[in-house]
Structure 1
Amino acid sequence: MFSYRLPALVFISTLFLAPPAAADCPDWNAEQAQQEINTLQQQITDWDRSYHRDGQSKIDDELYDQAREQLLSWQVCFANSSDIEPATTALNTARGNRQLPFSQSGLRKLNEIELQRWIKQRDELWVQPKVDGVAVTLVYEHGQLTQMLSRGDGLAGQSWLMHAQVISAVPQQLSTQAAKITLQGELYLRQSEHIQAQHGGNNARSQVAGLLNRSRLTASDGATIGIFVWEWPDGPTAMQERLNELQRLGFSESAIYSQPIKSFAEARHWRQHWYKSVLPFATDGVVIKQSLRSIQQPRSSYPPFWAVAWKYPLQQALTSISEVTFNIGRSGRITPIAQLQAVQLDDKIIRKVSLGSLAQLKKLSISRGDHVAIALSGHAIPQLKEVVWRSPQQQIIKLPIEENYHALSCWQASAECQQQFLARLNWLSNKKNLNMRGIAAKTWQALIDAQQVSRITDWLALTVDDLEQLPSFAKKRSVQTAQAFNQAKRQPFNLWLKALGAPAALSAKASDDWQSLAQLSEQDWQQRHFSQTQAKNLYAFFQHPAVQAAALDLQNHKVEGF
């Protein structure tokens, strides 16, 4: 209901778009702003052309709505208020040649705080589900259906009267003596056991629009479409009267899914109830409206002041890439991390998302400024679902050289090895390895910054006096750190092998020590029942110069097994 997506497109006036705060506007110069706006306008035009001409939806309804809101926001940011024009490119293809008897304009979307204020200033309120479908106007004259019109641009639409003949949910005849009845509602895709919180929108709106874009509908197609009447502009004055009469005329869902409310708490209850309940249609929020309306201007394209929308949490959020950074782990695995313009999903603020691997990053071909869809996976972990459109300012991201990072790289501190070296130290002190209590990334980073640790075993030589000389180490911290280091020296040989990063396949025997293992060839390892690959990795580990240097330090500090 009241959707942006064509042909159920709302005529959006920027007069009702709250001006973004300066902090919310991108830091673009005039040329870049124009390029970004033009790119998004063209992308929306392409989506609409595919939607209307070909009957294909190339973008999820929820993302489409956010893209249009983004365009309007940019227009407000980078134009004088007197120059702002509604984003009506898409409306050119939606407008029909049939004037609507009453305009169908979009509702203002309020957040929780705004809605609380709105409700406090009004009485005799009702709440309804915000059905996610295709808006339509039905006109009955002396009980006979004479027009079924698309929303079009909000003022003029196209005739769908031929389709009405096979949509069983739309009565062809009403039992009434009224000379004329005008109903506004939503044609929706009938759903079976649909729970919005679990299933989302399922692109139900696009599916209905695709059916209505056909030149002819079959009876079976028509049977999949329902109707929810949400307004009767020339009907009874009071809401309860309208609902009673609609039910008598055969539009029972209007009465079933309309509830009187007196407070914000009641509005919140019904919003949550319908979000998690089985409904016959997809929804994207609730509509709160006054019982008494003021329809003196049936040709107005402005949102009504007596009704507002409170949308559900987004299933997918649209945001942009501000940067791509790279996490390099102990084993040399490189994980690209997309840094995002902060966006809210459910109750989480998402600022970054893992891209998995360099291969995935290359496949996505992401650059700074690209706009992407973010969703939450099963355990509320953010995932990048797709690139929605690309920035015209293509900024190439410099990738790390993959060959430089592997299981035996970065045993020392350097600009290129900062992350992997720190990951090695963190692994070393982990409670499952040397169990250095109180020693974590911040401690290791402080020691690296103070140039006290540049190799994997430099910390072995640090004393309480050495630590107390450092800026961020007070007496208590220095004592605790030195105690953790001394305790680590007493850990058994097999834990030290694991802490140093020996291949996971290795399980040291009680009789093993460093010298005996370092003397083994690849063939010797295979004779110990390791595979050829495992033997190769074990031999490489024990022969690596940085590992041998660490073993010598451990021997000098009299660590067991070395």
Structure 2
Amino acid sequence: MEGWRGAALALTIVLSGEAGAVCPAWTPARAENEIAVLQQQLRHWDEAYYQQGESAIADADYDSLQLRLRQWQRCFYSASPAYAVRLPDNGERRHPVAHAGVKKLPDKLAVAYWMQGRKSLWAQPKVDGLAVTLVYRQGALVSLISRGDGLRGEEWFDKARHIPAIPPRIETDLPEVVLQGELFLQMSDHHQARQGGQNARAQTAGALMSKTRSPLLSALGIFIWAWPDGPQSMPARLEQLERWGFPLAKQWSREVHNEEEVAEWRDRWFNAALPFATDGVVIHQAQRPAGKNWLPGQGDWAVAWKYQPPVVSSEVLSVHFAVGRTGKISVVLNLLPVQLDDKTVKRVNLGSVRRWRELDILPGDQVALSLAGQGIPRLERVIWRVAERRYPEPPAANVGDELRCLSFSVECREQFLARLSWLSQKSVLDIPGVQRSTWQRLLSTGEITHLFSWLTLSPEQIATASGISPKRAGQLWHRFNLTRQQPLRRWISALGVPLPRAALNALGESRWEDVLARQSADWRRLPGVGAVMAEKIVAYLQNEQVTQAIAFLRQHGIPATSSMLGVGIVEDRQTQAEAQREQTRNEAEQQRDDNHRFMRQ
């Protein structure tokens, strides 16, 4: 329930493990320049925000850039002073009671740990707005102060007269009443799960920062979440607040006894219709120290458990150009790992080189990410670009050719690896336990020269690859030999012939001679094959590298019949069953090896 930028004015931001894990490989001169440029931009945004009431950047993006700036300053021991917002009146209005803020907890386990040994705990929605202090003297409102740095803020009393939700007077015998709460944009049946924050906080800020009277002021509400020197009993506090004209705290406070109840209310409020936007839940302990002892960042009597944001930010570590098996070049951003929902996101695919150039993204840039359908990471926007732009060179355009790279060469390495990874998939030749990393090891031996030369490797040759033991080499040799039994249509797929799956399944031929004899009209009779694709298939099969690969397979009797199979190939059902059991054991052993390797890393 902290105000947006005011929350970062004086409180020290503790960098998370992810945010502080990587320092850019910059020279000191470049680091100072990057820091200065980002500071200047933050200052520009602050001036627009505080002087014109305009929010030129999303709240989360601003917060992430402040965090990044602090990281850079720590990485390079920058001589630049720590960044601090300059309020229009320098934040000269002192809070009678400091805003202590709330510590953010990452998950239910942390909530359970915090709740241990504490009594009289209450959950409230974490209203997404601007934190303020209300001061009443002799029952009359005399001050409305922005959160600022928690000790001092900006005086907004002149705006309070135009906010009907703030009572100008309360009935009390107390000489002074100090309340802390959240000014927010009132909504009707707002569902946080479906609608998100809808920029409500920025709209609230704009109405309060504007030098002219904003009509939006009349649409603001107030949620009081702290009465520092009020009754020690939470029910008594809530009852009195309601009598004074602040009913929301009572309506939206629930006593909780364990983390399961907190999780239940958190989930319910996330999906229910509420009169405000929220970004989590806050758990309050009824007992708290006297207001005179409150300090920014020192409040251990209230914690927040925020919702997982639908969009998070990360820093680009490197730009990788991936060449697929058909030669298509795609751009992948390697990222500082971030958590999105239940996924750790380390990379995002941008698509084509053209799109990468249009987006203009380089290492050091800050980007916003979300999850698309099926949990696939997606780039939402670029938040910040570093000042110094050094562009990596994409692969040569002529590599992007699906008829190239059926044989190994240095320039074909990426595409050739993609072809090998493709053919080992279950839907193609089904070679269990053989991944891209396996092919990389085998390529390092120099024994694999074309797409199917692995079929001629001996166990001894396989064992020369780094990280492959003799036992593992024997397993791989056996699995390679088993592929000889795969039907012709799978070898056509392994070869990369651009044939749709439905057409491939409908293909009746069992010999390469029949496949090569097909004309364009014959291919068009298969489902999903039109005139253009038929010509493409014919041209593919007539390509010199393709005809050489087919000749190699024919020379080795592939696809094989049971009578043609050599040593190591099963010939009857009993032997096949034994081979299947051996394959299962081998896969289990490989999984254990992979797990051990992962633990060592």
Residue aligned with 1:318, SS: strand
Residue aligned with 2:188, SS: coil
More off after superposition, 104-113 vs 443-452 = 104-113
| C-alpha separation in 2, matches of 1:22 and 1:405 | 36
Q: Does the aligned pair in 2 maintain the 1:143–1:176 contact within 8 Å?
A: yes
| C-alpha separation in 2, matches of 1:429 and 1:77 | 44
1:352 is matched with which residue? 347
Deviation digits for residues 393-425 of structure 1 (CA, Å, limit 9, x no counterpart): 433222122332221111112222222212222
| C-alpha separation in 2, matches of 1:212 and 1:470 | 67
More off after superposition, 379-388 vs 522-531 = 522-531
The TM-score normalised by the length of structure 2 is 0.79
Q: Does the aligned pair in 2 maintain the 1:2–1:10 contact within 8 Å?
A: no
Residue aligned with 2:125, SS: strand
Q: Does the aligned pair in 1 maintain the 2:97–2:291 contact within 8 Å?
A: no
Residue of 42, 45, 52 corresponding to 1:44: 42
The answer to whether 1:181 aligns with 2:177 is: yes
Q: Identical aligned pairs, as a percentage?
A: 36
Which letter maps to 1:186?
E
Deviation at 1:205, TM superposition (A): 0.5
Q: Per the alignment, do residues 4 and 426 of structure 1 end up closer, same or farther by CA in structure 2, a change over 3 Å counting?
A: same
Residue of 56, 59, 72 corresponding to 1:58: 56
Q: Does the aligned pair in 1 maintain the 2:441–2:466 contact within 8 Å?
A: no
1:328 is matched with which residue? 323
| C-alpha separation in 2, matches of 1:111 and 1:257 | 22
More off after superposition, 298-307 vs 324-333 = 298-307
Q: After TM superposition, list the pairs within 5 Å mapping 1:39-188 onto structure 2.
A: 39-76=37-74, 78-79=76-77, 87-88=83-84, 90-93=85-88, 95=90, 98-104=93-99, 106-111=101-106, 118-120=114-116, 122-188=118-184
More off after superposition, 405-414 vs 197-206 = 197-206
2:21 is matched with which residue? 24
Q: Per the alignment, do residues 361 and 183 of structure 1 end up closer, same or farther by CA in structure 2, a change over 3 Å counting?
A: same
Deviation at 1:363, TM superposition (A): 1.5
Structure 2: gaps of 5 or more residues: 561-601
Which letter maps to 1:139?
V
Deviation at 1:471, TM superposition (A): 6.7
Deviation at 1:281, TM superposition (A): 1.6
More off after superposition, 156-165 vs 343-352 = 156-165
| C-alpha separation in 2, matches of 1:509 and 1:207 | 62
Which letter maps to 1:328?
V
**Across the two proteins, how many residue pairs are aligned to each other?**
553
Deviation at 1:461, TM superposition (A): 3.0
The TM-score normalised by the length of structure 1 is 0.84
| C-alpha separation in 2, matches of 1:319 and 1:334 | 24
Deviation at 1:79, TM superposition (A): 4.6
2:539 is matched with which residue? 540
1:400 is matched with which residue? 395
Deviation at 1:59, TM superposition (A): 2.4
| C-alpha separation in 1, matches of 2:135 and 2:204 | 20
Deviation at 1:30, TM superposition (A): 4.4
Q: Per the alignment, do residues 114 and 20 of structure 1 end up closer, same or farther by CA in structure 2, a change over 3 Å counting?
A: same
2:419 is matched with which residue? 424
More off after superposition, 284-293 vs 387-396 = 284-293
Deviation at 1:370, TM superposition (A): 0.9
| C-alpha separation in 2, matches of 1:158 and 1:45 | 18
Residue of 358, 367, 371 corresponding to 2:362: 367
| C-alpha separation in 2, matches of 1:133 and 1:53 | 19
Q: Does the aligned pair in 2 maintain the 1:63–1:316 contact within 8 Å?
A: no
Deviation digits for residues 280-311 of structure 1 (CA, Å, limit 9, x no counterpart): 22222333344233345489556435434343
Residue aligned with 2:374, SS: coil
1:551 is matched with which residue? 550
Q: Per the alignment, do residues 241 and 74 of structure 1 end up closer, same or farther by CA in structure 2, a change over 3 Å counting?
A: farther
Residue of 199, 208, 232 corresponding to 1:203: 199
Deviation at 1:550, TM superposition (A): 0.9
The answer to whether 1:193 aligns with 2:189 is: yes
Deviation digits for residues 159-183 of structure 1 (CA, Å, limit 9, x no counterpart): 4444434433222333334443332
Q: Per the alignment, do residues 176 and 527 of structure 1 end up closer, same or farther by CA in structure 2, a change over 3 Å counting?
A: closer
Q: Does the aligned pair in 2 maintain the 1:20–1:76 contact within 8 Å?
A: no
| C-alpha separation in 1, matches of 2:150 and 2:35 | 24
**Cα root mean square deviation, aligned:** 3.7
| C-alpha separation in 2, matches of 1:17 and 1:465 | 54
More off after superposition, 430-439 vs 377-386 = 430-439
1:216 is matched with which residue? 213
| C-alpha separation in 1, matches of 2:338 and 2:144 | 39
Deviation digits for residues 81-110 of structure 1 (CA, Å, limit 9, x no counterpart): xx996531x233474564444343543434
Deviation at 1:321, TM superposition (A): 0.8
The answer to whether 1:282 aligns with 2:280 is: no
| C-alpha separation in 1, matches of 2:509 and 2:374 | 45
| C-alpha separation in 1, matches of 2:494 and 2:255 | 65
Q: Does the aligned pair in 2 maintain the 1:19–1:76 contact within 8 Å?
A: no
